[in-house]
Structure 1
C-alpha cells in the first residue's frame, strides 16, 4: 500500500510539473505576440512641418489633404519620422468625429502612400477634419504614449 502511495505521489508531481510547463509556454506565446505593422520606407516629401509633442515624439502636421470624390482608395503621404522611437497608429476623422480610416502600427522611418477609406466621400470641403496620432512604445506591450490630433482641411474633388 505504501509503495502504491509513493507511485501516485510521483505521478501527481509529474502531472503538476507538466501543467506548469504548459502554462509557461502559453504565457510566453502571449508576451511574444507579433506586432502587425504596415507601411514602407518613407521617401515622400520631407518638408512637411513636424511638431514636437514631447521630448521624444515628432508629429508631422498637415494644413490640407485632397481626396477624389466617390472613391475609397486614396493617395496620401503619411509617415512616422525616422527620429521617433515609437510606433504610430493613425486615424482620419471627419469634423463630426466619424472615423473614415485607421492604420495598423507604422514603424519609424516608414510611410503610407495609399489608403482605403471606410466609405466614399461626396465632393465638398471638410474644414477641421482630424488626423489622429496614437503613439505606442516599441516594447512587447506596445504601451500607449502621448498622442496628438492635427486639424486640417479635407478637400474632396
Structure 2
C-alpha cells in the first residue's frame, strides 16, 4: 500500500475511533449506578394528593412489594408542569426505618422500579413517602409533602 492510501486508512480509523469514543461518552458519562428515571405523563397516573395551583404531588393509597426482594416496583414521579425537582424518601412509619432515598427527579419523569436499602418480610406495613421539592438548581428546598400509604409485602 502506498504512503497516501495508508494515511487515508489511518485518518478514517482515527475518525471512527473518535466518533465511537464520543458516542460512548455521551451515553455513559455522568450517569450513576442506580435507579433511572423515565419519561412519565400525568395521564398515566391521575392521583394527586394536591390539586391546587401550586406544586402537584402524587398520591398513593395501597402499594404491593415482593417479599425478600430489594428491587421493587413503584412509580415515584414528578408531575409534568411542576417547576421543581423532587426527591423521594420511603420510610416504614412504625419503625422509622428509611428504605429508600431517590436522586432528584425532573418534572415529567418517574422511577418505575427502585432498589431498597434492604428487603422486607411478608406482612402489612404503613409506608411514609416524603416528597421533597427543590429548586431546579438543586440548592433550595421548598415545602415538603408527606404521603402515607398501606404497604402489603407478599
> Structure 2 length normalisation: TM-score?
0.71
Mapping for residues 8-157 of structure 1, pairs under 5 Å: 38-42=36-40, 46-52=44-50, 55-95=53-93, 96-126=95-125, 128-139=126-137, 142-157=139-154
Contact residue 69 and residue 156 of structure 1 kept, 8 A:
yes
Displacement of 1:75 after TM fit? 1.1
Measure the CA separation in 1 of the matches of 2:68 and 2:129.
20
Contact residue 53 and residue 147 of structure 1 kept, 8 A:
no
Corresponding residue pairs, total = 121
Structure 1 unmatched ranges of 5 or more: 1-33
Runs of 4+ in 1 over 6 A off after TM superposition: none
Query: What is the match of residue 30 of structure 1?
Result: none
> Structure 1 length normalisation: TM-score?
0.70
Displacement of 1:65 after TM fit? 0.8
Contact residue 41 and residue 80 of structure 2 kept, 8 A:
no
Contact residue 86 and residue 138 of structure 1 kept, 8 A:
yes
Q: Deviations over 1:93-115 (max 9, x none)?
A: 00121100110000000000110
Structure 2 unmatched ranges of 5 or more: 1-29
Q: Indicate the SS of the match to 1:105.
A: coil
Contact residue 65 and residue 154 of structure 1 kept, 8 A:
yes
